[in-house]
Structure 1
């Protein structure tokens, strides 16, 4: 049986929601910092992130006296988590912080929207067209367009994350389920290291960024999100995630001096507006 949700002060839910969205955006920033300012390779970043995330989430689950028991979909969840984490790392070698977050977020949301349509759920066709059109505009060839290969990798990461999120909704304890997925992903992460052994490169700063990404931005961030998600309306839970690509772009501009072109800004707003319409229709 799912645990009973207790009432919490509004200010606490708001504060933890802001911290959670900041943690999600920090994942993108930490990856870009690692690949732009250090010599760490994508495979090493992925493995350190997964390992530190597994340890952090396991400690959180054990602290809450939640036993780690495997379920029917745990191995599939682990595979999707691995695809997300690996594609995320390799994509962020060649795509800006905000652009990567937008493609990741849009792909994940569109997959979940498509799943809902397949199940017969109603949605805003206008919003769906806006989201898809904005994404096409964002990725259209031009001086400001991100690398197509990096964008496709990030889209793959988004689809995998969307599938992982859909499977996670079926469990009674999301923290336990996510902890198990991180643990079961470790063999795949080690296999990635073996495949990429000729390209491995590690330094202290890059390893630290990967550690922070896995333990704080992912592990603690996911645990906080599961706590606040059940204490807000469905439309609110979807809408607050619209802030993640915006925060990521701001972090990239402030910390890494990344620029945002007019085309990128307009297309990003169109994508987010379309997804917001879909979320609004879903709530109705």
Structure 2
């Protein structure tokens, strides 16, 4: 029960990241790269303080940092850049669709053989997200934003796969955040001033700090702590609940309207996840016994 609660907390943190990023970057409170830099610095400082306070060391120079920090940096840059031109719904569809492909491919190449039920469940859940998130009308998709979000998806998929071997989640996540700061700063300084040159507001900075310290830093450390007990495809499936959580949060916190499309798409997505995880089979087995 405690493990299930931890997984739920992590998924809520992931949904919160999308909302915070949309409020800050999508509303023009701060530019995308500055948001990513502050987010990384806040996460690095928070986790480093917690690790050192517990008299532990940060594994800064282990070979695993190349994969962990590199994939985290790719995710942070792509995620922030995409939301400059993309709404949260379409962004979530592209992000988690890409994460599914990355993680399923990674686990299969690593020797895991997911049952057919899991593939079908993932397909149903993605169909639900497509129904929920795909924009109506004939508006063209923002190509640069789509590419950025796909890169973020690959980065996050690799980061999650790497976390399955984590032995010290907080210290390893802190080290990953620390190493993500220099390339993010370099990218921010190299960017021409006329590109995305938005002056950061106090509100935008606060949102970036909250996203970095709490929903990213602590949230990702918690994610690394539960990943070793989850298979690659199971963790990929579970992440498809994040857009649904964000949708519910939008209704509760932002007074967004509930539509039949939201209800139907949400039911299809959650049903696909439940089928892929074998929830219905276990329920039938418990009734039979």
- Contact 1:82 / 1:189 at 8 angstroms: preserved in 2? yes
**Residue among 16, 41, 49 paired with 1:51:** 41
Q: Output the CA distance in 2 between the equivalents of 1:233 and 1:79.
A: 23
Aligned length, in residue pairs: 272
Give the deviation of 1:247 after TM superposition.
1.3
SS at match of 2:165: coil
Equivalence for 1:94: 85
Give the deviation of 1:170 after TM superposition.
2.8
Q: Give the gaps of 5 or more residues in structure 2.
A: 283-289
Q: Output the CA distance in 2 between the equivalents of 1:83 and 1:265.
A: 33
SS at match of 1:169: helix
1:26-37, aligned counterparts within 5 Å? Answer: 26-37=16-27
**Residue among 166, 171, 181 paired with 2:176:** 181
Equivalence for 2:286: none
Give the deviation of 1:52 after TM superposition.
0.5
Equivalence for 2:285: none
Equivalence for 1:248: 246
Q: Deviations over 1:151-172 (max 9, x none)?
A: 4422321221010111222332
Q: Output the CA distance in 1 between the equivalents of 2:245 and 2:230.
A: 22
Q: Output the CA distance in 2 between the equivalents of 1:178 and 1:79.
A: 12
Equivalence for 1:127: 121
- Contact 1:94 / 1:147 at 8 angstroms: preserved in 2? no
Q: Give the gaps of 5 or more residues in structure 1.
A: 1-9
Q: TM-score, normalised by structure 2?
A: 0.77
SS at match of 1:190: helix
Q: Output the CA distance in 1 between the equivalents of 2:94 and 2:62.
A: 31
Equivalence for 2:222: 224
Equivalence for 1:114: 105
Equivalence for 1:5: none
Q: Output the CA distance in 1 between the equivalents of 2:140 and 2:52.
A: 42
**Residue among 21, 24, 29 paired with 1:39:** 29
Give the deviation of 1:31 after TM superposition.
0.6
Q: Relative to 1, partners in 2 of residues 1:128 and 1:223: Cα closer, same or farther, differing over 3 Å?
A: closer
Q: TM-score, normalised by structure 1?
A: 0.79
- Contact 2:69 / 2:179 at 8 angstroms: preserved in 1? yes
1:12-27, aligned counterparts within 5 Å? Answer: 13=3, 15-27=5-17
Q: Relative to 1, partners in 2 of residues 1:13 and 1:168: Cα closer, same or farther, differing over 3 Å?
A: closer
Structure 1 range deviating more: 48-57 or 271-280: 271-280
- Contact 1:168 / 1:178 at 8 angstroms: preserved in 2? no
Q: Relative to 1, partners in 2 of residues 1:270 and 1:118: Cα closer, same or farther, differing over 3 Å?
A: farther
Q: Relative to 1, partners in 2 of residues 1:117 and 1:207: Cα closer, same or farther, differing over 3 Å?
A: same
